[in-house]
């Protein structure tokens, strides 16, 4: 593995961008397009690239704790987990099944809260 990918700055740049986007929200000289764009980029990063656990439901009542990329992706070791995460979002039975596993551990809780902040920030940026 390269040193670049091991760097915490490389792995967590979306959180830094989120903090910068919040600061941009209160800046007077920045337009709404730049603020909304920064929050939208954070939103996409949380869904697709934030370092989290898999969170797919295993046999029994446990959740998978393998490493995953983003809230939508499952772990790379078990292909069934990737399908389980994708199907839970496309079925839209209930909100609880769609977001199952998003609150199973600290990485998911932080990424989910940051996802909510970035979604609200996109709207706030457009209303700026």
The structure tokens 């609200």 sit at 120
The structure tokens 């979604």 sit at 119
For the chain, the straight-line distance linking the first and the last C-alpha, in angstroms and rounded, comes to: 42
Look at residue 98 in the predicted model and tell me its pLDDT. 59
Using alpha carbons, select from 23, 20, 76, 83 the residue that is nearest to residue 51.
Answer: 76
Cα–Cα distance measured from residue 93 to residue 54, given in angstroms and rounded to the nearest whole number: 21
| 46-90 confidence digits (pLDDT tens) | 988 888 888 777 777 777 888 888 877 778 777 888 787 777 666
| 25-37 confidence digits (pLDDT tens) | 898 888 889 999 9
Using alpha carbons, select from 10, 4, 6, 22 the residue that is nearest to residue 49.
Answer: 10
pTM: predicted TM-score of the whole model, two decimal places:
0.80
């Amino acid at each position: 593995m390269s040193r670049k990918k091991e760097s915490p700055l490389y792995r967590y740049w979306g959180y830094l961008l989120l903090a910068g986007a919040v600061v941009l929200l209160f800046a007077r000289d920045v337009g709404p397009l730049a603020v909304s764009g920064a929050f939208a980029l954070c939103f996409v990063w949380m869904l697709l690239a934030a370092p989290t656990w898999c969170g797919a439901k295993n046999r029994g009542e446990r959740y998978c704790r393998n490493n995953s990329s983003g809230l939508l992706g499952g772990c790379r070791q078990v292909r069934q987990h990737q399908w389980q995460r994708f199907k839970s979002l496309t079925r839209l039975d209930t909100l609880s099944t769609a977001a199952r596993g998003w609150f199973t551990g600290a990485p998911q809780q932080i990424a989910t809260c940051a996802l909510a902040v970035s979604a609200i920030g996109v709207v706030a940026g457009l209303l700026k």
